[in-house]
Structure 1
């Protein structure tokens, strides 16, 4: 079998590199570079051989290619992998009844039409692009040793073509829980057309607990994010509800607390989800109060006291008192805004009075910073709408503790059949391995090691002895 000879050849070349290192031809860093190149070349060659062997298998297996006839052979294709560019030859088929034409080996290997980059490298690129710019992603791929020609445009196109990845899988058994928490906020980004946009973030969790260094952590959080403008906001809450139904016994959920800054799209979630209770994020309320009352600490204490008592009239009365004290229209307008904000969100404020034993507080602002802003809005970044949506989704997937690389590869290959070579091919391969074993025995009996007088054989034998071969 060609692949066996390929591996043996590479072993002998590695032995030559070891000899070169130990005789002063290479420094150790130079040896590492040479060795890496050899192994990558081996990887490319193995990929080529395997694809061509699979093409041969399909050709010889009449049942597998029933009704398909060969119209052209030795058609070359190059696919970029982590090892570098792999060029292989395959047959072009036509379906006798429908006239459909296809490269059957590409289908069997999961290589799509016009695809230039293989799925494993795509998964690597996508994962890197969620953490750094497109340009830096290409540099990191090349720094990692991949001998491939990838541009920032390639990274962007790859990202956009990735299928949607769910932040959860099929649940083995649904949980029984009475209370769920949802927190929501948004990040403001710049579009390439000069306009601004909004990326929404929603995450579901089961409460909070004390973690290392007395810091709070969320229990089983799942994140959902993307550009959901206008009527598409319903799609976002639909995804959240699908996750809840898939993970929890929905008839056991008594309350779902939804915390946020009072934006309409967050309140839409309160109407959309059953048993949902709106809770205003006190961080945003505090900003309005601080802006309206400035440094009046006494009045602030009085205001917060009435807020937690749930006395709306007294809360508004305190703010009107401050409004009358101000002389400038600017200061008066700030108080007006605070009054309107409290009136529009009183339901969410009053929830603290009704459910103070269960409400855990809201940390959406910091989660937006960590999950979205780090990649989407910090620095001079601009996005297309589709690019921002895809990036936000992938950041949410990563924040949910899911491996992007594994999910992308799984999506592509879950419907593919395992590759099974014909029995005759396997039999011939086994016979070839048997002959090699009979002729050379173990690695120690390879021809290069039979000459006891050469420095090369002595060096390699010494190395094999150290690693117990």
Structure 2
């Protein structure tokens, strides 16, 4: 109480002194506010320090501690919080039974070993990294005592990699019957540190577009992302299918994309699913097909949507027989002819009345490319996926702080279970050891002596 009174009196003295300077125009009002807030943060951190050290002292003096734990040292630690550095002295104990060393205060507070940051700081850094560089993520936290980009990278690689595509929900609703469900998919080309480009996949499921809003937002959209290995990305489509079966009972599913093999595989993987080629890539290949002839791409575009495949085939037949077509133009024509021919049915399905279109290209640009590939930079495999997962986790309504706290509690429970299992195994081994020794000694006696052992065990010696 004396410490609290001293700190309060000192803060009040500084507060009134600076207030008088403001009145005499020797100090700016905003500086007074900043000084007061800084003093308040310092006071709160000191109060927390005093409280924790007093709790540690009381446990140290308790009879339970004296019976089970031996004091080995008193050590100081500094933890970076969102409001400044917190320095606390706590006691280092040894369990007299297991001989294990530990800081009881660290265990109670859930402080991770060898980590200088609290979970709140790590969660804030992950939120900042989702839209800013590593250095900017640090500078956005004004009172943080850590300034190393390597520390940010370690958080992204360790905590960010844990973030799932779907936030944990305590109560899952019953599957909703729906007539039509929409899936849209595309990929971002991300440059990596090994001088290669890999796809960062993006898939999102929604109930359609809200036509009452001028911006036409998606209705109940849920997103999936990751650098999934394999040609068909079955792991990704399994996650999507699990989400659909948990939340919906659709009669029809429309999957839109650019016609990549992994997207078409999703249409085969998901029941009642029809693949439809998005119009963005249709326009792109119609422009490629009209190379050398300005303005013809619009005609090809309408022919493709109308299912006039014979008109398109006749067009390509004429272009390929044209002697004025250059080698590079011929290459573009071959690519366009193959693309439009192989996806003819998926192009025609754009005319279905209950199909709303596809905005996957815009989503890729806004949610992935904006952070991963819009600037010349090389990512690591873990870093790129962690940042992408962080952005999508927030987009799906997940709370990073709550998730990290839940994971920490889960790890603590698992550690307790492991310790309990180890104690059971130790006791079992001890029991088996003495049982085997007694059995061996008992078997070594003569027949008459064994009878004497039996009689002594049953009725007493």
- When normalised by structure 2's length, the TM-score is 0.79
Counterpart position of 1:399: 395
Distance 1:407 1:268 in 2: 32
Secondary structure of 1:379's partner? coil
Counterpart position of 2:181: 180
Q: RMSD over aligned Cα, in angstroms?
A: 2.9
Secondary structure of 1:76's partner? strand
Distance 2:118 2:329 in 1: 61
Counterpart position of 1:75: 75
What does 1:206-285 align with in structure 2 at a 5 Å threshold?
Answer: 206-210=207-211, 212=213, 214-230=214-230, 233-248=233-248, 252-285=249-282
Distance 1:3 1:341 in 2: 77
The correspondence for 1:342, drawn from 340, 343, 363, is 340
Bigger-Rg structure (1/2): 2
Could you tell me whether the CA contact under 8 Å between 1:43 and 1:83 is conserved in 2? no
Could you tell me whether the CA contact under 8 Å between 1:128 and 1:137 is conserved in 2? yes
Give how far 1:82 is off. 1.8
Distance 2:367 2:281 in 1: 19
What does 1:192-203 align with in structure 2 at a 5 Å threshold?
Answer: 192-203=193-204
Could you tell me whether the CA contact under 8 Å between 2:70 and 2:95 is conserved in 1? no
Secondary structure of 1:178's partner? strand
Counterpart position of 2:370: 374
Distance 1:77 1:39 in 2: 22
Give how far 1:262 is off. 1.0
Distance 1:240 1:7 in 2: 56
What does 1:20-169 align with in structure 2 at a 5 Å threshold?
Answer: 20-56=21-57, 58-59=59-60, 68-142=68-142, 146-162=143-159, 163-169=162-168
| 1:95-146 alpha-carbon deviations (Å, 9 max, x no partner) | 344333221221221111111111111111111111111112222223xxx0
Distance 1:365 1:159 in 2: 26
Distance change >3 Å, CA 301–CA 129, structure 1 → 2: closer
Secondary structure of 1:188's partner? strand
Give how far 1:41 is off. 0.9
Give how far 1:313 is off. 4.4
Give how far 1:69 is off. 1.0
Distance 1:300 1:44 in 2: 67
Could you tell me whether the CA contact under 8 Å between 2:253 and 2:272 is conserved in 1? yes
What does 1:271-420 align with in structure 2 at a 5 Å threshold?
Answer: 271-294=268-291, 296=293, 300=297, 303-325=300-322, 327-352=325-350, 356-412=352-408
Give how far 1:366 is off. 0.9
Distance 1:232 1:291 in 2: 27
- When normalised by structure 1's length, the TM-score is 0.78
84-93 vs 312-321, which deviates more?
Answer: 312-321
Could you tell me whether the CA contact under 8 Å between 2:4 and 2:47 is conserved in 1? no
Give how far 1:288 is off. 0.9
Q: Give the length in aligned residue pairs.
A: 407
Distance 1:319 1:67 in 2: 90
Could you tell me whether the CA contact under 8 Å between 2:291 and 2:333 is conserved in 1? no
Distance 2:227 2:250 in 1: 29
Distance change >3 Å, CA 153–CA 88, structure 1 → 2: same
Distance 1:262 1:6 in 2: 71
